[in-house]
Amino acid sequence: MDATISTARGRDLARAGRLDEALAAFLEAVERDERAVDAHLGIYEVAQILRQPDLALAHQRAALALAPVHSTPASVHQDYALLVLCAPGLYEANTPADLLFDARRVTLHRWYVDPERPAPALPDHDAVFVAIGESDKAAAHLAFAERFAASAGKPVINEPAQIARLGRVSLAATFAGAAHCRVVTTTRLARAAYAADGFPTPHIVRPVDSHGGHGLTKIDDDAQRATYLAEMPAEQLYVAPFIDYRSADGFFRKYRIVFVAGEAFPFHLAISPNWMVHYYNAPMAEHRWMRDEEHAFLTDIASVFNGDLGDALREAASLLPLDYVGIDCAIDGDGKLLIFEADNALIIHMLDDPALFGYKRIYVPRILEALDAMVRRRITA
């Protein structure tokens, strides 16, 4: 079996959810032909799902060494082509453009920029979409993207310099004078400094550049801090005061809102009895009343964010001058918009169980349609 056949078999197995077998097929393909880019990319995708990040990154590096630009042509008719600027890394390193644009009508050319190398020969494109997310690792890539964008001669969606301001420390500075929004000041500490001096309790701590709640812990006393340090090897940490944002019914609510050209769109509402709320660990599937509340929020964002909170969304949009950016947020005890994070690489999708979350298929496409319309306007302008 040659590499092409093994790669195709791996794709079929991955689509069927047989991920261990898919990984074996992709590995067989690269063993037969180490230049099989699609097989390397298949390993990159499947290994992440199987929680093998080191294997994923190794094969991403192999793929990028062979071809720094990976293209997905429009499958039916190309309305426009985007040059998507990316940085190497796991999924959360970049905006998941595949989930945002219609694969039938939009060609995506993903260019994994290398700050130490000049731009390769680039395919024809109508606009530049900067997908690189903010992180320490991506700082040089964003700086390179900024230089490239300045001379690209094409519309640029999401200015790299604005993305660089989304870090947890700088975000609080951006919102320091906000009237309706609150971003808790985050302090970056070296491990030794956190071990020596601690931080007023209660507080939350996480490794720098972590995502999805990895390593995020609430610390109530010195004993918990010592345990955290014993279990977490990270050398750089973000520390911030803990804010109890639970609602009157005792549940914590975290909203994800996306701004497209400054207009706010609801994406989801996660409700949980626990303070660390993520959609994947909130019991939304178990409680009809939670889904009904989320449905109402998606139907009409103003049903929650009206009055001062409506002003807060407009204020947030003005302070986050990106074409496409999202926030994870809550409403604090003073009725202010409490912003936990702003990110251009938040995942927006329609992958939830349609039997339970079918209403999302009505409202989430509004985000994608607004993004598509904005890109078209920028291209024709």
Q: Where in the chain is the domain with CATH 1.25.40.10?
A: 3-66
Per-residue tokens: 203: 């507080």
Where does the chain hold its CATH 3.40.50 domain(s)? 73-164
Q: Which residue has the tokens 């077998």?
A: 21
The mean pLDDT value for 146-151 works out to 95
Q: For the segment 1-11, what is each residue's pLDDT rounded down to a tens digit? A: 688 999 999 98
- H-state helical runs in the chain: 3-15, 19-32, 37-49, 53-66, 139-150, 160-163, 168-174, 191-197, 222-231, 288-299, 308-319, 354-357, 360-363, 365-380
Render pLDDT for 155-201 as a digit per residue (tens, 0 to 9): 999 999 999 999 999 999 999 999 999 999 999 999 999 999 878 99
The mean pLDDT value of the chain amounts to 94
The fold for domain 73-164 equals: Rossmann fold (3.40.50)
Please, are residues 367 and 265 in contact by the beta-carbon 8 Å criterion? yes
CATH code reported for the domain at 252-380? 3.30.470.20
Q: What is the CATH number of domain 185-241?
A: 3.30.1490.20
Phi/psi at 71 (5° precision): -110, 140
- The segment(s) of the chain belonging to CATH 3.30.1490.20 are 185-241
pLDDT band at residue 211 using 50, 70 and 90 as cut-offs: confident
Q: What is the pLDDT of residue 214?
A: 80
pLDDT digits (tens, 9 = 90+) for 278-314: 898 899 999 999 999 999 999 999 999 999 999 999 9
List the CATH code of the domain at 3-66: 1.25.40.10
Per-residue model confidence as pLDDT tens digits over 21-77: 999 999 999 999 999 999 999 999 999 989 999 999 999 999 999 999 999 999 999
Q: Residue 1 has what pLDDT?
A: 60
% of the chain exceeding 70 in pLDDT:
99
Percent of the residues in the chain that have a pLDDT greater than 90, as a whole number: 88
Give the separation between CA 315 and CA 157, rounded to whole angstroms. Answer: 21
> Could you give the 3-state DSSP secondary structure of residue 327?
strand
Whether omega for the bond prior to residue 202 falls within 30 degrees of 0, making it cis, is: yes
Asked if residues 93 and 345 have their Cβ atoms less than 8 Å apart, the reply is: yes
Q: What's the average model confidence in pLDDT over 265-274?
A: 97
Q: What is the pTM of this model?
A: 0.92
